[in-house]
Amino acid sequence: MIPRERVLKTIQHQEPDRVPLDEAYYSFSLQSPEGRQKLMRTIGLSDVDGVKDFLGIDLRDLFMMPSETFMGQAVYKEPPWIWVHELPGNRYRDEWGIEYEIGATGEYFHYVHHPLEALEKIDDYQFLDLNASGRFETAEEQMRRWSGKYAICGHMEATLFEQAWYLRGFRRLIRDLYDNEAFCESLFDKLLEFRLEQAKRWVELGVDIIRLGDDFGTQTGMLISLATWRRYFKPRMKKLIDAIKKSRLYVFYHSDGCIERLIPELIEIGVDILNPLQPECNNIERIKREFGTRLTLHGTVSVQRTLPFGTIEDVENEVRSRLKICAPGGGLILAPCHAVGPDVTIEKLITLYRCAQNYGKYPLRI
Amino acid sequence: MSLEEISKAIIDLRYDVTCSLVKEAIAQRVDPMKILIELRKGMEEIGQRYETGELFLADLIMAGEIMKGATDLLRPHLTGQADIPGHRVVLGTIEGDLHDIGKDIVATILTSSGFDVRDLGIDVPPRRFVEEAQKTKARLVGISALLSTAVPRCRDVVTELEKRALRKKVKVIAGGAAVREEHMLAFGVDGAVNDAIKGLEIMKKWTV
């Protein structure tokens, strides 16, 4: 069975030849450049696509690129895993005008400037031009290469809330939610307009799935109340999903943390695939039992405990347990829950995929 | 105005109302310590409501913003008065990790509960925690670590304390999403939590 068929079948809640697999969190999954090199050396392959095939990864992600003009002076920086302009003092600026600083160990970054932080009116900010030259050429080329073989995802995560706080600043946006509602409404409307247009481009390119997402979960509960989510985000997300679904595409939704309370409403507005379902924060068994016939679970393998702190045997046990609980009837795409950090050994990463390929064959015998 | 209006405004998460009331109270020459106590009373209620699930993290962040705005107004008037009562805590996100939401919430909760928080920010080298504890004679060190790669670095703070013969005098607590109870033993810290309110309870017990 080809990877695309495998993925689509599981989303339709049928059992393919084996449980489809995905990488952790797009480009993060293969760790740092050094981690990637080590992984390639370990399995004896020299290209990323080959590594993904070896691991059994059935999906491929397409990203929108910065404009040709921005790319003129841009460098690809890991972290923050995007194209940026270098600024003095270990700082970097992306095309949106958001600035980043890299931490002392070089493994992570934080935001140091938000272009909307001091703005009163959203109209004073120039959003990215989706028609700019260079925006989708890379995606078109990748589409030609991957189309038909893999399930292709058009990337639009950080859809509304996250992109809003990248632009406005986290605390500032949280404050706006309470006492600057007009600003919130116009910012989210503007972002929705942008995302609707961006979705059209992915539809035109012929992707199978559109990846949406905003982190609304914390370790133990929701970041904001359901009432706030319903007020600002649910109607806009519905509008976006309705537009995507007119073209019969599947909708993937990402939110870190504990989001069990959101699940019925995400299903209601049309989400087909939910990621990453961190097992430390959510009851995976209950979610499969209650929503498993309407929702495909994506992720589910612990990056907070098992992968960094567990043994090889722990990884095997977790994969087997997840397959046993979530794979029956399809509706599971297994992957690490999030970025696989440099503290996860290559052996554990390979074990995850090897084990999933071995035990994830249908009919299941676990 | 009555002072209770201040705690009510903070519980209602009204930034402008809280700050106006604080300004009004200052203008009426109300004892700044009494205003501060009222603000803390509001924050305590917020903390309890968060713990029971009635409020959400965003509410806690908003309350923290209000508390910060109100205490900024109050600070110049507290000069010359006795130190804000409480115990000194050196707090920071460990080197290699740049997440600050959790750490800032802990700072707010601790401050509201009367602790004197020395916040070192993010990406803090282990020796800085110890230098600050030594300089300020703090007896509590709080280390925030969200990334699994950062958690083991709590051990370096403990080692640094041992080197300076301060280990017996200073209690160390680690907090963050990837922090587990077994890390107490693994990295030699005295407490390990992934919940800000639990962290506060532990630190309160240590200071009794």
Give the pLDDT confidence of A202-243 residue by residue, as tens digits: 999 999 999 999 999 998 899 999 999 999 999 999 999 999
Q: Phi-psi category of A2—alpha, beta or left, where left has phi over 0 and alpha has psi -120 to 50? A: beta
Closest residue, chain A, to B59 (C-alpha): A224
pLDDT: which is higher, A96 or B178: A96
Interface test with A, best of B61, B124, B144, B183 (most A CBs within 10 A): B61
Residue with tokens 């006795």: B82
Residue with tokens 């004896």: A44
Determine, for residues B96 and A104 on separate chains, whether the beta-carbon distance falls below 8 Å.
yes
Distance from CA of A304 to the nearest CA of B (A): 5
Interface test with B, best of A31, A179, A349 (most B CBs within 10 A): A179
- Backbone angles phi and psi of A67, in degrees to 5: -65, 160
Q: What is the pLDDT of residues A329-365, one digit of tens each?
A: 999 999 999 888 888 889 999 999 999 999 999 999 9
Query: In the predicted model, is pLDDT for residue B39 greater than 80?
Result: yes
CA distance B25 to B88: 28
Percentage of the residues of chain B whose pLDDT score is greater than 70: 96
pLDDT band per the 50, 70, 90 thresholds, residue B144: very high
Instruction: Pick the range with the lowest mean pLDDT from A24-33, A34-43, A77-86, A250-259.
Output: A24-33
Determine, for residues B58 and A221 on separate chains, whether the beta-carbon distance falls below 8 Å.
no
In this prediction, residue B84 carries a pLDDT of: 47
End-to-end alpha carbon distance in chain B: 35
Q: Say which of B13, B148, B178 has its CB closest to residue A178.
A: B13
Q: Say which of A110, A170, A308 has its CB closest to residue B148.
A: A308
Determine, for residues A221 and B53 on separate chains, whether the beta-carbon distance falls below 8 Å.
yes
In this prediction, residue B117 carries a pLDDT of: 92
Determine, for residues B149 and A309 on separate chains, whether the beta-carbon distance falls below 8 Å.
no
pLDDT band per the 50, 70, 90 thresholds, residue B180: confident
pLDDT band per the 50, 70, 90 thresholds, residue B47: confident
Residue A7 tokens, joined? 């993925």
Residues in B closer than 8 angstroms to A308, CB to CB, are: 148-149, 178
Q: Phi-psi category of B34—alpha, beta or left, where left has phi over 0 and alpha has psi -120 to 50? A: alpha
Residues in A closer than 8 angstroms to B101, CB to CB, are: 170
Residues of A with CB under 8 A from a CB of B: 101, 103-105, 107-110, 170-171, 174-175, 177-179, 218-225, 228, 280, 303-305, 308-309, 341-343
Residues in B closer than 8 angstroms to A178, CB to CB, are: 13, 15, 62
Determine, for residues B97 and A104 on separate chains, whether the beta-carbon distance falls below 8 Å.
no
Which pTM value belongs to this model?
0.90
Whether chain A has a CB inside 8 Å of the CB on B121: the answer is: no
Give all domains of chain A, ordered by start, each with its CATH number.
3-68+126-359 (3.20.20.210), 69-125 (no CATH)
Instruction: Pick the range with the lowest mean pLDDT from A1-10, A203-212, A220-229, B48-57.
Output: B48-57
Coil vs helix vs strand at A234? helix
Report ipTM for this prediction.
0.89
Residue A333 β-bridge partners:
A298
CA distance B42 to A60: 50
- Give the Å distances, CA to CA, from B168 to A281, B116, B207: 35, 21, 14
CA distance A344 to A305: 10
Whether chain A has a CB inside 8 Å of the CB on B197: the answer is: no
Q: What is the pLDDT of residues B94-116, one digit of tens each?
A: 998 888 888 988 998 888 888 88
Architecture category of domain B88-206 in CATH: 3-Layer(aba) Sandwich (3.40)
Distance from CA of B121 to the nearest CA of A (A): 12
Determine, for residues A103 and B148 on separate chains, whether the beta-carbon distance falls below 8 Å.
no
Report the pLDDT averaged over residues A283-304: 97
pLDDT band per the 50, 70, 90 thresholds, residue A30: low
Determine, for residues A175 and B15 on separate chains, whether the beta-carbon distance falls below 8 Å.
yes
Of 3.60.110.10, 1.10.510.10, 2.40.10.340, 1.10.1240.10, which CATH number belongs to B4-78?
A: 1.10.1240.10
pLDDT band per the 50, 70, 90 thresholds, residue B120: very high
Q: What is the pLDDT of residues A140-171, one digit of tens each?
A: 999 999 999 999 999 999 999 999 999 999 99
Q: What is the residue-wise DSSP string for A168-194? A: H-HHHHHHHHHH-HHHHHHHHHHHHHH
Domain ranges of chain B: 4-78, 88-206
CA distance B111 to B115: 5
Report the pLDDT averaged over residues A317-338: 97
In this prediction, residue A31 carries a pLDDT of: 57
CA distance B203 to A81: 38
* Identical topology for domains B4-78 and B88-206: no
30-69 in B: which are within 8 Å (CB) of A? Answer: 53, 56-59, 61-62, 65
Query: In the predicted model, is pLDDT for residue B86 greater than 80?
Result: no
pLDDT: which is higher, B121 or A339: B121
Residue A144 tokens, joined? 């030609």
In this prediction, residue A104 carries a pLDDT of: 80
